[in-house]
């Protein structure tokens, strides 16, 4: 699976300098990071809507669109797939393959101690995220 994403990433890098009139990727990259982020968010919302509606085939199609747009955004920001794989591996070592990293340093320590006894965990970043009302 990672090979497919890496091939897609290389194709995105190759397409970014093409004529925007002929390449969707080049056009998207020319429009800037904000547009790329908006397209990624739109695809994620479509995946969620199709999932709630129980349309598995639509989820597959929209997931492919979402992965494409995520890859374009990575390329724009200089993020390589290997960067993401390393972060996933780091999290797996701390919390297990299926776990998302908790936002709270306290929760990180609790989750890690439950998974790997005796292994100290230090949160790399601590920030407060405020919800908009």
* Interval 42-97: pLDDT, tens: 999 999 999 999 999 999 999 999 999 999 999 999 999 999 999 988 888 877 76
User: Residue 81 carries which DSSP code?
Assistant: H
Supply the pLDDT for residue 37. 97
Measured CA to CA, the distance from residue 34 to residue 74 in angstroms comes to: 13
Report how far apart, in Å, the C-alpha atoms of 51 and of each of 43, 58, 67 are: 12, 8, 16
pTM over 0.75: no
Average pLDDT, the chain: 83
- Tell me the two tokens of residue 79: 């993020």
| Exposure letters 101-113 (e unless 16+ CB within 10 A, then b) | beeeeeebeebbe
Supply the pLDDT for residue 94. 79
């Amino acid at each position: 699976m990672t090979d497919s994403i890496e091939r897609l990433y290389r194709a995105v890098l190759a397409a970014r300098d093409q004529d925007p009139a002929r390449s969707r990727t080049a056009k998207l990259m020319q429009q800037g990071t904000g547009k790329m982020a908006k397209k990624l968010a739109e695809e994620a919302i479509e995946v969620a809507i199709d999932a709630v509606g129980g349309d598995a085939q639509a989820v597959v199609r929209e997931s492919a669109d979402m992965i494409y747009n995520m890859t374009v955004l990575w390329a724009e920001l200089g993020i390589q797939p290997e960067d993401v794989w390393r972060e996933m591996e780091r999290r797996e070592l701390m919390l297990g393959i299926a776990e998302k990293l908790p936002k709270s340093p306290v929760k990180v320590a609790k989750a890690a101690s439950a998974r790997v006894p005796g292994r100290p965990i230090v949160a790399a970043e601590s920030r407060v995220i405020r919800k908009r009302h």
